[in-house]
Structure formats: structure tokens, C-alpha cells
Amino acid sequence: MTVYNKEYRELQQIKLAVDCIIFGFNDNKLELLLIHRGFEPEKGKWSLIGGFVGENEDLDKAANRVLYKLSGLEDIYMEQVKAFGKADRDSSGHVVSITYSAMILKSEYNEDQVSNYNAKWFPIEELPELVFDHRDMVESAIRRLRRRVRNFPIAFNLLPAKFTLPQLQMLYEGILNESIDKRNFRRKVLQMKYLVRLEEKDMSESRKGAYFYRFDEALYKVEKNFNL
């Protein structure tokens, strides 16, 4: 906004933070990256990856900096989810936090960084106790993810560049937490011309083998309609 209530301008002692909700996919389950909190308050609980926003730092940049520090990952598709602003949400003071969410491919994730930061993946159905209102943050991010994953080709961030349709379906089943009819699913996928079948097959999951597909970004930009 602007400068209406001038009186606040000097007094305000609100801190501004970002928290990152980082989704991964493993063992057919949607997972979340958390860090073990080694300090008070709430020491010993688990927490989202978060940090304070820097002076003269864009909010988006802050989220990316925090994510990078923790995961070593750059250029990750990351979106603002929402602001959490109850005055007492953080017991250490008035901290407003903006949540961002990202989807990363665990296999590209640098395992060294994980242990450096006491980070760990948890299936979203088996989360430990989280600090403050981080549970609410996770839930709102999951709702948003479930909404968006049906209308935008974002789930591919959780898969390798080459993936099979059974893999993709299991991913969707994991994210949406419901089972999907194979034939209906495949028909919809195959209508999207930007999902390109490769000649190569994945022979690791079955004797018959499943064709690999890839998501063609350029072709998608032409059609730009996605629906699953």
C-alpha cells in the first residue's frame, strides 16, 4: 500500500518471513521436506524451510534464496501460496510469513545438503508435529496443489524428464489421494499433443515394458490447455 497511517511507519516491529512448502514424490506417495528445529522456542519439533526476508530483497527472491540454501536447487518452479498473519502465530514475536510452494525431483536433490540442515522427507499422511501454524500452511498448500495440478502441467516437476504413463498416473493418484481409471486417464493424456511418446521403453517395472513420454514445453505453449 502506501503511507496512510503514518504513525506506524516508525513504530512497526513486525518481522517478515517466508516459508517453503517443498513437495517431492517417492514410493507412490507425496512427500514434504521438513527440517528439525534445533533451537527454542519449539525446539525439537519439525518445521518448514523458512527464513526472514532480507532488506531490499524481493519476496520471491527471498523464497528462492531460502530454498537454495537448503536444497541447493535453483530455478525451481515456485509459487506464492498465501500470507499467514495472525499476530500470535509465532510465539517468539509478531512474525508474518508468506508461504511459497515448490515441487522438486528428489533424485536431483543433493543428499549432502539434507543432512547439513537436518532436513528429512515425510509422506504427507505421516507428518510429525510441526511448529506454530505450519500444519495449516501445509494444508493450504496441499489444497492449492490439488486444485492446480488438474489444470496446469506442473506435476511433471516431480518426475524425471522421461516418464511412463503408469508413473504419471500413480503420481496423480498420490497427489489427489484417489484412484483413477486407467483408460480414462490415458485417453486424456494422449489427447495432449505435447506429451510425446518416445521410442524407448522402461523395462524396469514390468516384463512388457512401458513407453517413456516427455513433456514438450514448446508444444504446450501452443495449445495451453491442460486438464486431468
Partner DNA sequence: GCAAAAGTGTTCAGCATACACCCATGG
Partner DNA sequence: CCATGGGTGTATGCTGAACACTTTTGC
Contacting residues toward DNA, per CB under 7 A: 164-166, 181-184, 186-188, 201, 203, 205-211, 227
Q: How far is the CB of 114 from a copy of itself (least distance, A)?
A: 16
Q: In the complex with a copy of itself, which residue's Cβ is closer, 81 or 159?
A: 81
Q: How far is the CB of 202 from DNA (least distance, A)?
A: 7
**Residue 11 interacting partner from a copy of itself, DNA, none (CB closer than 5 to 8 Å by kind):** a copy of itself
C-alpha to C-alpha distance for 166 and 188, rounded to whole angstroms: 13
**Residue 225 interacting partner from a copy of itself, DNA, none (CB closer than 5 to 8 Å by kind):** none
Angle at 107 between CA 106 and CA 111, to 5 degrees: 80
Dihedral sign, CA of 189, 195, 198, 202? Answer: negative
Q: How many CA atoms lie within 13 A of 50 on its CB side?
A: 26
Q: In the complex with DNA, which residue's Cβ is closer, 116 or 184?
A: 184
Q: Measured between alpha carbons, how far apart are the two ends of the chain, in Å?
A: 38
CA 91 to chain centre: 26
C-alpha to C-alpha distance for 187 and 76, rounded to whole angstroms: 29
Residues of this chain that interact with a copy of itself (CB under 8 A) are: 1-5, 8-9, 11-19, 37, 39, 42, 47-48, 50-60, 62, 66, 80, 82-88, 90, 92, 94-98, 131-132
C-alpha to C-alpha distance for 228 and 152, rounded to whole angstroms: 9
Q: In the complex with a copy of itself, which residue's Cβ is closer, 35 or 154?
A: 35
- Map grid coordinates 512497526 to a residue: 12
Q: How far is the CB of 34 from a copy of itself (least distance, A)?
A: 11
**Residue 83 interacting partner from a copy of itself, DNA, none (CB closer than 5 to 8 Å by kind):** a copy of itself
Q: In the complex with a copy of itself, which residue's Cβ is closer, 14 or 219?
A: 14
C-alpha to C-alpha distance for 79 and 109, rounded to whole angstroms: 19
C-alpha to C-alpha distance for 178 and 199, rounded to whole angstroms: 30
**Residue 58 interacting partner from DNA, a copy of itself, none (CB closer than 5 to 8 Å by kind):** a copy of itself
